Structure 1
Amino acid sequence: MCGKQTDDERIVPDGIEIISQVGPMMCGGTDAYRDNNAPKKILSKDMTLFDVNSSFSILALPPEYDCRNRLWYLSAFAARSGNGTFVQMAKVTEQRGPKKSSIAFVKRDVMPDLVDLVNESDLAKSNGNHSNTHGLPENFGGSVFVKYASGETISISNNQCPVIPYDAALRIASLFESFMGEEKVPLKDLSGLREVHFSEERGDGYTRAVLTFNADGTGTNRKNSRYGANEYESEKPVDAETMSRIKKTIESCGMLAWAGLPENDFKPVSKKSMAFVFDDGETVAIEDNRDVPYSIGNGFFTIELEMATKH
Structure 2
Amino acid sequence: MFLFGRKKDEDPDTVTDDDIIVVHKPPPNACGGTYATQRKSAPTEIESEDMVSFFAECSFRVCSFSDEISEDERITFISASAEKAAKGTLLVLDKSIGYGSERSRPQCVLIKEDIFPRLVQLVREQQLAKGNGYHSNTAGLPENFGGSVDIRFSSGERIDYSNNQCPIFGLDTAIAIANVFDTAMQGEKVPLPDVKDIEKIVYDEERENGGFTKATLTLLPDGTGTNAKTSRYEDEKVYESEKPVDAETILKMKQNITNCLLFAWEGLPKREPVISNVSKKLTFLFKDGSELTVHDNCRLPYSISNGFFNIELEMTTKH
Q: TM-score, normalised by structure 2?
A: 0.90
Match of 1:99 among 103, 107, 115: 103
| SS, match of residue 274 in structure 1 | strand
Pairs within 5 Å for 1:23-34: 28-34=32-38
Percent pairwise identity:
45
Match of 2:263 among 252, 256, 278: 256
- Residue 96 of structure 2 is aligned to residue 88 of structure 1: no
CA contact (8 A) 1:26 1:134 kept: no
Say whether 1:152 aligns with 2:183. Answer: no
Q: How does 1:13-52 map to 2 (within 5 A)?
A: 13-22=17-26, 28-52=32-56
SS in 1 for 2:18: coil
1:250 counterpart letter in structure 2: I
2:83 maps to which of 70, 73, 79 = 79
**Quick check: 2:212–2:233 contact (8 Å CA) kept in 1?**
yes
Structure 2 unmatched runs, 5+: 1-15
1:8 is aligned to none
Task: Letter of the 1:152 partner, please give it.
Answer: E
Q: Report the equivalent of 1:304.
A: 312
Separation (CA, whole Å) in 1 of partners of 2:198 and 2:220: 10
The alignment partner of 2:303 has SS state of coil
1:247 Cα deviation from its structure 2 partner: 0.4
Report the residue type matching 1:208 in the other structure: K
CA contact (8 A) 1:27 1:135 kept: no
In the alignment of these two chains, the number of paired residues is 300
Tell me, yes or no, if structure 1 residue 133 matches structure 2 residue 138. Answer: yes
Q: Match for residue 219 of structure 1?
A: 225
Amino acid in structure 1 at the alignment position of 2:100: R
From 154, 172, 179, give the equivalent of 1:174. Answer: 179
Pairwise CA distance, 1:67? 4.8
How far does the alpha carbon of each residue in 1:262-284 deviate from its partner, in whole angstroms, 9 at most, with x for none?
11114123011111110111111
Show the 5 A alignment for 1:267-286: 267=274, 268-286=276-294
Partner SS, residue 60 of structure 1? coil
| SS of corresponding position for 1:14 | helix
Residue matched to 1:292: 300
Whole-angstrom CA distance in 2 between matches of 1:281 and 1:67? 49
Superposed CA offset, 1:146-181 (max 9, x none): 111111111010001111121010011111111111
Alignment RMSD: 1.6
- Say whether the 8 Å CA contact 2:281–2:296 is kept in structure 1: yes
User: SS at the partner of 1:306?
Assistant: helix
Which residue in the other structure is 1:3 paired with?
none
Quote the Cα distance in structure 2 between the aligned partners of 1:62 and 1:28: 34
Kindly provide the CA deviation profile for residues 251-272 of structure 1, in whole angstroms up to 9, marking residues without a partner as x: 1101101011111114123011
Q: Give SS of 2:180's match.
A: helix
Q: Distance in 1 between matches of 2:242 and 2:125?
A: 56
- Which residues of structure 1 form unaligned runs of 5+? 1-11
Match of 1:5 in 2: none
Q: Counterparts of 2:220 and 2:30 in 1: how far apart (Å)?
A: 52
d(CA) in 2 for partners of 1:55, 1:224: 45
Q: Distance in 1 between matches of 2:215 and 2:194?
A: 22
